[in-house]
Chain A
Amino acid sequence: MTMGLVYHDAYLRHEHTPTHPERRERLQYTMDQLREEGVLSDPAVEELDPFEVTDEQIYRVHTPEYIERLRSMSATGSGRLSADTHVSEHTWSTAKLAAGGVLRGLEAVAADEVETAFVMSRPGGHHAFADDGHGFCYLNNTAVAIRHLQATTDVESVLIWDWDAHHGDGTQSIFFDDPSVLVMSTHQDGRTLFPGTGKVEEVGSGAGEGYNVNVPLPPKTDDEAYLEVVSEIFEPIAEQFDPDLVFVEAGQDNHFTDPITDLGVTAQGYAALMESAVEVADGLADGDIVASLAGGYGIEGGLPYTNLAVIATLLDFETKYIREPAIYEPPTETPDVSDVLERVREAQAPYWDLP
């Protein structure tokens, strides 16, 4: 089993403000953990160098007007797309390198250069729309990479599971009318968290109707409830959709230590979620799966362990010893998600056969 790990020190260059939650040490503490565990020097891990995406690749997704605005803002060295999404001198090149990282991971898996891939890039992408960005996102890395893959390889259908705690509003909007890319999002209910979208009723439009699945979960939702969503919604829809490739937008901010969200997933929970994604890819997509780090702001107690859990699962390594240190207390609440599941079943019933 070989896994491509896409990473570059240049991903540390982009900064919002010195105290912004989306900071460079999100990657650095995880890299510390991976290095110390021997993952980086393991023969099963191949480090893949990202490259910057080209204009042609970007314009498959984004409007020239938006790109010009972003490029010139970055060239002047300051500005912002929204109150918390800052643009600095390195933002433009780092955003292109982040999108190129996802593209590199997808290409490597599609071309069988590696069996699976984990992309550890920043800034993230799933809040970037065709013509605007916010939520710490500039280019929609995932959309740029998938569009390129669809244009240049025989990969036609892609299943995106966006498990970031925040709804991936940008990704949803880009693929909303596209039946070739099924976007399934599990996220903390928009009534309690940015960006507020991601309602059950948002099911896609036009030819894409039925190819957008939203599962908004109540605050504190724990491992067990997440696994219920997996077996009752994710797996049956994946099986019926039968993708060529599985893509996980791996937001690690469902972890119970995350300071800006309010969910209850543990590192073991992440291993279990990734395991189910891998099983789906093994069963339907010849094992072709790429995971890309999205959110995750529990920099010390969460990220090193959740990222390790996801990576170890992709590598088929033993994961049972991966957990948070005992100084972090996991939550004890177990909110009921049966109501949400029932509403998802109803909304998706016209398109999918759900148990």
Chain B
Amino acid sequence: MIVGIDTGGTNVDGVVLDGSGICGTAKVPNTETRASIEEVIEALRDACDRFSIDRVVVATTLVVNAAVQNRLPPCTNLVIPGPGLAPDRSFFGAENHVAAGAVDHRGRITEPLEYDQEPTYDVRAVTAKFSDRNPELERELTANFETDPQAVALGNESGAGLTFPERAATTVANARAKPVFSAYERAVEQAIAEAGLEAPVYYLKGDGAMLGSEAMRTTPAHTIRSGSAASALGLVALTDMDDGIVVDIGGTTTDVSRIANGFPDREPDVSEGTLETAYSGITATSLPIGGDTSIEPTDSGFGLADERAGDAAALGGDVPTLTDALHVLGIFQAGNVADASAALRSLGGEPEPIAETILSEFEQRVGAAIESIQVEGPSPIAVGGTLAPILGPRLAEAHEAVTEAKIPGYADVAGAVGCGVARVSVDTAVHIDSHRGIKTITAVGSERVDSVQTGRQFTDKEVRQIVAEAAQDAAIAAGGEPNKPVQIQTTDGFSVVERGTVVGQIINARARVAPGIERWFEEGSP
């Protein structure tokens, strides 16, 4: 059994999946990480007859929120560029130091490390050019720090297939995200222990795959877009959508994402606030409007304030929200209509026209977001969130770009379902230099350097086998299960010739366990 937990700005949603489908759901207010997660697990335990959990998968928007609100710590970015283009192409820190030393394209250390400055900040990123061919200089520099910094991220641990500037930016992002994520991760571990679970914990990446907690602690910038990825995966799983748009209407935000060939579509280089990464993430737009968004007077009337104020007045809150507008219009009746009406009136106008203006603004902005990421004209949408049954059909009615709105069962916990159906997938790069007798494997986490027989020649079949195994191993190291299908992305090799003799071979290959969805559901039924 798998527990999926989606921690959003308003609620923490949970589901329990077993071999036959969803056996329990829960929704609790997001107050404090540890308490809320413990509470949601307890609620799930109560909802299920049997509760034997094999893993817990969590999606969090915490790093993203901290980045957007400028709450991440500054970082000293230490680069070891060696010869080449100007080092400032890789300056992504609040402070940037250049250390002497060089690794060349063969992974040889051609110049020794020299660094005698003192970093100002306690959060540090260390990135060498070609560290994907030899991580030694990065490790040496880190080992020489006089005091133990609060957080250190190394370029060779940041992932496969990155260029030097990309690796530096991504490593800075990981270093800066580490303190916030680590604190969160500890709270999750504690909550799960308190709730009496012994299952391993995974975190959803922004590309819709997941990582084990250790791998995510190393590369927490991977959580950018993980909230959108969770709901997109969940809505795909719940509706069996092949191509279209998914809309997840939460309390604080509404996420609009594109689905292509039965999986969330992805794009490279996702960034958030001052965090720049070269990681890929799902193609998504996150609008700062949801059910709890407050209503405010504007120059021309009334509008959505683009921030969450708390619960709707109809549900005991203080400030009028979108949810109150729905109450006033009589299309959603979960709370007290009179309170909703009074709250809107307090803004200085008749409640009904205000409510109509607000609802139409919401529909118009979500419609514009849908159109902005559609690639081939009108398409179906799948809608998640508590308000999905209310607002989904209206979106289809209001916009020609929407051919139909699918509202699956469990739409209100779609993000948690998405967590439960994710798979471990890690980009993996293998570089073999049999002249030097080495093989380097770059994935998430510490780079592996193995030896190979000097001078050995590999057939294409052997290369494919090696990279497929490396991708499997990397996925398993990141918490994945064995025997998942592997996609081999590239393989390339050539001979090394020295003084007229073939002395070895250089091979570059990349592969990954295919990202995928582990369980499918019939539309609307468990």
Footprint of B on A, CB under 8 Å?
12, 18-19, 23-25, 28-29, 32-33, 35-41, 267, 300, 304-305, 308, 312, 317-318, 320-327
Q: Which of B389-397, B469-477, B497-505 contacts its partner?
A: B497-505
Q: Which of B82-90, B243-251, B329-337, B353-361 contacts its partner?
A: B82-90
| One of A304, A312, A317 near B105 (C-beta < 8 A) | A304
> Which of chain A's residues have a CB closer than 8 A to the CB of B85?
37-39, 308, 312, 317-318, 321-322
* Shortest 8 CB-CB contacts between residues of A and residues of B: A325-B110, A318-B86, A38-B165, A38-B163, A32-B105, A323-B83, A327-B110, A19-B500
The closest CB in chain B to the CB of A328 belongs to: B110
**Which of B82, B130, B163, B506 counts the most A-chain CB atoms under 10 A from its CB?**
B163
* B 66-114 contacts with A by CB, 8 A: 81-87, 89, 102, 104-106, 110-111
1/0 per residue, CB under 8 A from A, across B360-375: the answer is 0000000000000000
Query: In this assembly, does B115 line the interface, its C-beta being within 8 Å of a C-beta of chain A?
Result: no
In Å, the complex CA distance between A25 and B495 comes to 8
The closest CB in chain A to the CB of B90 belongs to: A38
How many A-B contacts if CB must be within 8 Å? 83
A245 to chain B, nearest CB (A): 27
**Which of B85, B89, B129, B500 counts the most A-chain CB atoms under 10 A from its CB?**
B85
> Which of chain B's residues have a CB closer than 8 A to the CB of A325?
82-83, 102, 104, 110-111
Query: Are the CB atoms of B83 and A322 closer together than 8 Å?
Result: yes
**Known interface pairs A23-B494, A321-B81; 18 further A-B residue pairs with C-beta atoms within 8 A, sorted by A's residue number:** A12-B494, A24-B494, A25-B506, A28-B506, A36-B105, A37-B84, A37-B163, A38-B85, A38-B163, A38-B166, A267-B83, A318-B85, A321-B86, A325-B82, A325-B83, A325-B111, A326-B110, A327-B110
> Which of chain B's residues have a CB closer than 8 A to the CB of A35?
163
> Which of chain B's residues have a CB closer than 8 A to the CB of A267?
83
The closest CB in chain B to the CB of A27 belongs to: B494
Query: Are the CB atoms of B86 and A317 closer together than 8 Å?
Result: yes
Query: In this assembly, does B263 line the interface, its C-beta being within 8 Å of a C-beta of chain A?
Result: no
Footprint of A on B, CB under 8 Å?
81-87, 89, 102, 104-106, 110-111, 129-130, 163-166, 494-497, 500-502, 506
Known pairs A19-B497, A25-B496; A300 contacts B164 (CB<8 A): no
A199 to chain B, nearest CB (A): 31
A34 to chain B, nearest CB (A): 9
Query: Are the CB atoms of B165 and A19 closer together than 8 Å?
Result: no
B508 to chain A, nearest CB (A): 8
A347 to chain B, nearest CB (A): 39
Query: Are the CB atoms of A18 and B502 closer together than 8 Å?
Result: yes
The closest CB in chain A to the CB of B84 belongs to: A37
Query: Are the CB atoms of B110 and A19 closer together than 8 Å?
Result: no
| One of A12, A18, A41, A321 near B84 (C-beta < 8 A) | A321
Query: Are the CB atoms of B105 and A37 closer together than 8 Å?
Result: no
> Which of chain A's residues have a CB closer than 8 A to the CB of B165?
37-38
Query: Are the CB atoms of A300 and B106 closer together than 8 Å?
Result: yes
**Which of B82, B105, B496 counts the most A-chain CB atoms under 10 A from its CB?**
B105
Query: Are the CB atoms of B502 and A19 closer together than 8 Å?
Result: yes
Can you report 15 A-B residue pairs in the complex whose CB atoms are below 8 A from each other? A18-B502, A25-B494, A33-B105, A36-B129, A37-B84, A37-B89, A37-B165, A38-B85, A41-B166, A300-B106, A305-B83, A305-B84, A308-B85, A321-B83, A323-B83
